[in-house]
A and B are shown apart, each in its own frame.
Chain A
Amino acid sequence: MPSMVDRIEQIEAGGRQAVSAAASAAELEEVRVTWLGRKAELTAILRGIADLEPAERGPVGGAANRTRKALEAQIEERGAELAAAELETGLVEDRIDVTLPGSPARAVGHLHPITRTRRLIEDVMVGLGYRVMEGPEVEHDFYNFTALNHPEDHPARMLQDTFYVDPAGPVEAGDGPRDVLLRTHTSPMQVRAMEAAPPPIFMIVPGKTYRRDSDATHSPMFHQVEGLAVGEGITLADLKGTLLAMLREIFGPDREIRMRPHFFPFTEPSVEFDVSCFRCSGTGTLNDSSRCGLCKGIGWIELGGAGMVDPNVFGFVSDSGYDSDQITGFAFGFGIERIAMLRHGVGDLRLFFDNDVRLLEQFS
């Protein structure tokens, strides 16, 4: 008669085979009941151990317990396998049409191209050590003209070029019918900033400006950025380097700058500055040998005006620590729309203030 231990081995072999053969969670449960359940042979053996001879109890008990544990572990393992397989099968059947359009998330809106361009310029100049300041748009003549060295009879002061504000209206007006106006440039903040703080100053002033002009390239309202750097030892060469650094950030690392002497009342020397054309790399000619339309074949794109702060301007803020023998500085100004038009190929300035969403949504 085979020993009890041999029988237990046979049970284990049979049980293992049955577990492996179970093809579903339900079959596996049946296998468990058959081989490890209350009526199972192994269970009976374990229950009968106490009735055995003392010498047999140890080997039989040990073998029976090992077998039970082994089978339990195998059942658990097989159960996990079966569950994973069933899940997989279920998922495969649970199909959707992935080609249908997604349910839209809340649409993201768009910043106006002028805002985006303004922020770009601000970020570049902040990186160069500048602060960003804002000034009033309804301004005193003093800041817009007088303190910027415009003579009393300067043509820009004429009614056909500058919007004047009715002093009888709700404004704090000084003397005369022409004290209050809409600023014609962002330059008045040069004087305001210097009145408010001693040198050094490194600032830019983005903002709205106004001139009595209206066509495809002139708008009665437009945006400018003013720059001002004042301190000891600041030179025209520093202006060139600063503008070059700025323009390379905006238009690309290969750009060059050109400065042409010019005339402005509040800078001396004065220059106009151009950037080399980023479409034709300054050659004026495109790859197909046609004339570059962006720079009109010149290779340079005119951007703005600049120069060294005129000593007469410092004269208006000498109280605040600006002595033109000690302090020098440069200032520059250019149009935000102009940069946006160049970067994004917008041909008509007026489109910016039309606010058609078909334009706005092109700038994400």
Chain B
Amino acid sequence: MKVPYSWMAEYCDPGLEPGVLAERLAMTGTEVERVARVGPPDPSGFVIGVVSEAGSHPDADRLSVCQVEVGDGLRTIVCGAPNVAAGQTVVVALPGAVMPDGNRIRKAKLRGVASEGMICSEVELGLGTESDGIMVLEEGLAAPGTPAAEVLALDEAVLELEVTPNRTDCFSVYGVAREAQAITGAELAPPPWQGPEVQTGGAVEAVVSVTVEDPEMCPRFTARAFTDVTIAPSPKWLQSRLVAAGQRPINNVVDITNYVMLLTGQPLHAFDLDLVPGGELTVRSAIEGERITTLDGIERELKPGMVLVCDRNGPAAIAGIMGGSVSEVSDSTTSVLLEAATWKGPNILKSSRELNLRSEASARFEKQLHPALAERAQIVAGKLFTEICGATVVEGMVDVSVGMPESRELKLRGGRVERILGMEIAIDEQAEALERLGFGVERDGSDLVITVPPDRYFDVTREIDLVEEVGRVNDLDRRLPATLPAGSDAVGGLSRQQTLQRRAEDSLRETGLNEIVGWSFTDPGEAARLRIAAPDPRATPVTLSNPLSEDQSVMRTTLLGSLLGAAQRNLSRGAERVGLFESGRVYLPAADVGPGPLGGDFPGKRRAPANELQHLAALVTGPLDPPSWSDTREAADFYALKGVLERLGAGLGVPLTVRPGEQPFLHPGRCGEVLASGSSLGWIGEIHPAIASEWDLVNCLAFEIELAGLLEASPLGNEVYEDFTPFPPVDRDVAVVIADEVAAGEVLAAVREAGGPLLVDTAIFDVYRGKGIAEDEKSIALRLRFRAADRTLSDEEVDPAWKAVVSALEGLGGRLRG
């Protein structure tokens, strides 16, 4: 909302610099985007001039050489406007004047003729948005030499307000004046609609009739009629106010409707009464396929639900949004039917969105206006029609209405303001603040009984809304103390999951990986590129109905795509070493959830619509370590990344195991399933070379695991001390030759199982293939440690366990070596 300062000051002049008032407004709830200036930066070089002679330029067809009286004598001014003529009263920019666009006017020769100034157009002065030539003022408006600022709004500050959507009252100049009064205490002039009420009915009913078919959509429709209207440009003062407020002047009738809307907040629409057959209007919903050409010359297709104002022949206006060209006011208009109606806000919003057509009117109507405003607008417009258009008012007003909403009374209980705000505001101060804001206030003991004015009817509906009003105009920011909640015995802290999540992330960071934050969205083709196919749930992503782009139209089901993309981008930008991890969510089909929020189990009565799991994933390509002069670095292999994974587990006290697994996007020979205490957490492996190459990557290792499961397996913080034994262990080494396809993990598991309670540790210390071993076999060397807690073991005691281990190894097809 653009509010020309002088216009507001006509109703309330706080006597403050516009910038200071802007700050006060900002601190009381109405943000001021900026204080703009209309016109030149300094109006002093602009004077009124009278053209006494306008002749053609000897060397240029399009230029005129004029003699202009500017108070101190005649000046020769070369003018390029086609409309310049002797006798005109104009605005002259004298040499030295600075135009709104920053250009300084100088004495200059134009095609050989010296020119001492410039005759200005509206656009050049910043007073208009378009002009056909110089601005021609009313004859005799002011004597030559009069500073132009005395007769034109050449020096206007405009407050550009960012009105919050609840404050429909501030979409009007008078509303802003009331606000200025409330926050500064400056006096407020009576509203421009004050005066005798317009009588309903009367002579107007003979020329205008209105039928409202759907009163819910149109709670009030008022209409007045004016005859003997003379269409002409509006007076300059009105035009310049409109321009300053961001509107384009058109003609006096249209300008009055805009002016009254800006002043009162109630939009109006003027029909050429002679183009409304029989003066009959009907308000109804549009019929499928119906069309209308609106005032902007565009033909629009209407849909049922959109409300229309129709004449006998069809649509004459889209209610509350834009009029139709069929009964547009034109130069030949002599009678006007003036509509001021109240529309159902949500329907206006919906229709304007559907039509992709927003107007000053719809912007106000969509927020819901009170029906009382319609009459106010009619009163103000009626006066202006008489004054400016020389019109005759047809007596009375057509008023089709479901009646006024019931007046709203609210109680503001004593102590309530303090209870909510935490600062004391005396009851007299409260009452005064509300009165200044236009509320009716009565005392009832320690309470206040408040009547809400129409301007705030839909905004202030509860006691709490009054608390806000009282607070905001009472210098809230400066007066409000800064306290902490009293008597709070709340204990803060991170949950166990949150603490361990941080530890897991830190652990990956400490192994040299950089954390990324990837997009939650991805492209729907990603699953296919990773060869993930149904029935794998990762092939069925949560899909957006209205994505910004196809690339970001589904929610990711794996973190792998984000990591591959980040690796690709970094390598293409010259990074040598890419080791990345992400701790983030994937979005899977709704399923059983848990444990905890990281497992998708969130507080609240309704389950989350999708299964959101926190995953932890890492991707490495190239060496893990930075370059050094002392040794050559090797690209990370499977075991390098597995080491990272194991360290992650170790940091949480969780022994992670890996067994051969399968993932569609992994190298089939280098692919493992990650487990903790027997349950599957995810995968680790080398990205399939064909898939890696789609991201321009080679030799790329990755893992992805569910965080909740990992953390659930962690004993961290719950460890129980176990007395360590003073008795020495018995260590025995064994080498077993076994078929290549038997995994080391199977061998270890078999040995541990067979070794019984005395076998406390088993480790692989060598794997050998080559001379002396058949081609499809390998030799695995293991160190077994036996120990008892309460005695030194003898060889005899170890032997049975040893034999069990040996037969377990033989059971796997192995034989002891040498």
Partner of A182, one of B467, B511, B544, B598: B544
The answer on a CB contact under 8 Å between B609 and A139 is yes
Partner of A235, one of B28, B420, B505, B624: B420
Q: Which residues of B contact A361 (CB under 8 A)?
A: 514
The answer on a CB contact under 8 Å between B492 and A127 is yes
The answer on a CB contact under 8 Å between A171 and B590 is yes
Q: Mark A181-194, 1 if CB is under 8 A from B, else 0.
A: 01000000101110
Which residue of chain B has the shortest Cβ distance to A354 in the bound complex? Answer: B569
Known: A170-B540, A195-B603. A202 touches B517 (CB 8 A): no
Provide a sorted-by-A list of 28 A–B residue pairs whose CB atoms are within 8 angstroms.
Answer: A108-B510, A108-B512, A111-B505, A111-B509, A126-B492, A128-B492, A131-B494, A136-B610, A137-B520, A143-B604, A158-B353, A159-B546, A163-B545, A165-B544, A165-B609, A166-B543, A170-B541, A171-B589, A202-B492, A220-B548, A220-B552, A221-B519, A235-B423, A242-B485, A269-B471, A271-B476, A328-B420, A358-B575
Q: How far is the CA of A237 from the CA of B610 in the complex (A)?
A: 39
Q: How far is the CA of A135 from the CA of B602 in the complex (A)?
A: 6
Judged by a CB distance under 8 angstroms, whether B103 is at the interface is no
Judged by a CB distance under 8 angstroms, whether A266 is at the interface is no
Q: Which residues of B contact A229 (CB under 8 A)?
A: 485, 488
Q: Which residues of B contact A163 (CB under 8 A)?
A: 544-547
Judged by a CB distance under 8 angstroms, whether A258 is at the interface is yes
Q: Mark A232-245, 1 if CB is under 8 A from B, else 0.
A: 01111110111011
Q: How far is the CA of A270 from the CA of B540 in the complex (A)?
A: 41
The answer on a CB contact under 8 Å between B603 and A196 is yes
Known: A220-B552, A260-B29. A170 touches B610 (CB 8 A): yes
What's the minimum C-beta distance from A263 to chain B, rounded to whole angstroms? Answer: 4
Q: How far is the CA of A195 from the CA of B606 in the complex (A)?
A: 9
Q: Which residues of B contact A258 (CB under 8 A)?
A: 27, 477
Within 425-480 of B, Cβ neighbours of A (below 8 Å) are at 462, 464-465, 467-468, 471-472, 476-477, 480
The answer on a CB contact under 8 Å between B544 and A166 is yes
The answer on a CB contact under 8 Å between A353 and B519 is yes
Q: Which residues of B contact A130 (CB under 8 A)?
A: 490, 492
Q: Which residues of A contact B28 (CB under 8 A)?
A: 261
Which residue of chain A has the shortest Cβ distance to B581 in the bound complex? Answer: A109
Partner of B516, one of A136, A240, A271, A360: A360
Judged by a CB distance under 8 angstroms, whether B196 is at the interface is no
Judged by a CB distance under 8 angstroms, whether A10 is at the interface is no
Q: Mark A104-128, 1 if CB is under 8 A from B, else 0.
A: 1011111110110001001001111
Q: Provide the main secondary structure of the chain B interface.
A: loop
Judged by a CB distance under 8 angstroms, whether B559 is at the interface is no
Judged by a CB distance under 8 angstroms, whether A287 is at the interface is no
Q: Which residues of A contact B745 (CB under 8 A)?
A: none
Which residue of chain B has the shortest Cβ distance to A337 in the bound complex? Answer: B517
Judged by a CB distance under 8 angstroms, whether A306 is at the interface is no
Judged by a CB distance under 8 angstroms, whether A81 is at the interface is no
Judged by a CB distance under 8 angstroms, whether A297 is at the interface is no
The answer on a CB contact under 8 Å between A169 and B420 is no
What's the minimum C-beta distance from A187 to chain B, rounded to whole angstroms? Answer: 13
Judged by a CB distance under 8 angstroms, whether B743 is at the interface is no
Q: Which residues of B contact A107 (CB under 8 A)?
A: 512, 624-626
Q: Which residues of B contact A358 (CB under 8 A)?
A: 573, 575
**With A114-B517, A140-B609 given, can you name 18 additional A-B contacts, CB distance below 8 Å?**
A101-B628, A104-B625, A115-B515, A127-B492, A135-B602, A136-B608, A151-B346, A165-B542, A170-B542, A171-B542, A180-B610, A192-B605, A221-B520, A229-B488, A233-B485, A258-B27, A269-B471, A353-B518
Known: A197-B603, A311-B464. A103 touches B628 (CB 8 A): yes
Judged by a CB distance under 8 angstroms, whether A152 is at the interface is yes
Q: How far is the CA of A54 from the CA of B752 in the complex (A)?
A: 78
Judged by a CB distance under 8 angstroms, whether A93 is at the interface is no
Chain B interfacial positions (CB closer than 8 Å to A): 26-29, 31, 164-167, 345-346, 349-350, 353, 419-423, 462, 464-465, 467-468, 471-472, 476-477, 480-488, 490-495, 498, 502, 505-506, 508-521, 537, 540-548, 552, 555, 566, 569-570, 573, 575, 578-581, 583, 585, 587-590, 597-598, 600, 602-610, 612, 624-631
Which residue of chain A has the shortest Cβ distance to B540 in the bound complex? Answer: A170
Q: Which residues of B contact A166 (CB under 8 A)?
A: 542-545
What's the minimum C-beta distance from B616 to chain A, rounded to whole angstroms? Answer: 13
Question: How many interface contacts (CB-CB < 8 Å) are there between A and B?
Answer: 314
Which residue of chain B has the shortest Cβ distance to A319 in the bound complex? Answer: B605
The answer on a CB contact under 8 Å between A238 and B603 is no
Q: Which residues of B contact A288 (CB under 8 A)?
A: none
Q: Which residues of B contact A159 (CB under 8 A)?
A: 545-546
Partner of B511, one of A109, A179, A193, A208: A109
What's the minimum C-beta distance from A214 to chain B, rounded to whole angstroms? Answer: 6
The answer on a CB contact under 8 Å between A106 and B625 is yes
Q: How far is the CA of A170 from the CA of B609 in the complex (A)?
A: 9
Q: How far is the CA of A7 from the CA of B488 in the complex (A)?
A: 94
Q: Mark A155-174, 1 if CB is under 8 A from B, else 0.
A: 10011100111100111110
Q: How far is the CA of A143 from the CA of B607 in the complex (A)?
A: 11
Known: A140-B606, A261-B471. A108 touches B509 (CB 8 A): yes
The answer on a CB contact under 8 Å between B570 and A129 is no
Q: Which residues of A contact B517 (CB under 8 A)?
A: 112, 114-115, 352-353, 355
Q: How far is the CA of A242 from the CA of B493 in the complex (A)?
A: 17
Within 311-364 of A, Cβ neighbours of B (below 8 Å) are at 311, 328, 352-358, 360-361
Q: Which residues of A contact B624 (CB under 8 A)?
A: 106-107
Judged by a CB distance under 8 angstroms, whether A100 is at the interface is yes
Q: Which residues of B contact A308 (CB under 8 A)?
A: 420, 464
Partner of B590, one of A114, A143, A172: A172
The answer on a CB contact under 8 Å between A165 and B514 is no
Within 237-278 of A, Cβ neighbours of B (below 8 Å) are at 237-238, 240-242, 244-245, 257-263, 268-271
Known: A236-B471, A311-B462. A164 touches B545 (CB 8 A): yes
Which are the 7 A-B pairs with shortest beta-carbon distances? A235-B422, A237-B422, A192-B604, A170-B589, A136-B608, A261-B29, A263-B164
Judged by a CB distance under 8 angstroms, whether A226 is at the interface is no
The answer on a CB contact under 8 Å between A136 and B467 is no
Q: Which residues of B contact A160 (CB under 8 A)?
A: 546
Q: Mark A206-225, 1 if CB is under 8 A from B, else 0.
A: 00101010100000110000
Q: Which residues of A contact B31 (CB under 8 A)?
A: 260, 262
Q: How far is the CA of A107 from the CA of B519 in the complex (A)?
A: 26
The answer on a CB contact under 8 Å between B482 and A244 is yes
The answer on a CB contact under 8 Å between B544 and A164 is yes
What's the minimum C-beta distance from B131 to chain A, rounded to whole angstroms? Answer: 35
Q: Which residues of B contact A259 (CB under 8 A)?
A: 476-477, 480
What's the minimum C-beta distance from B627 to chain A, rounded to whole angstroms? Answer: 8
The answer on a CB contact under 8 Å between B515 and A112 is yes
Q: How far is the CA of A182 from the CA of B627 in the complex (A)?
A: 43
Q: How far is the CA of A108 from the CA of B509 in the complex (A)?
A: 6
Q: How far is the CA of A212 from the CA of B609 in the complex (A)?
A: 20
Judged by a CB distance under 8 angstroms, whether A310 is at the interface is yes
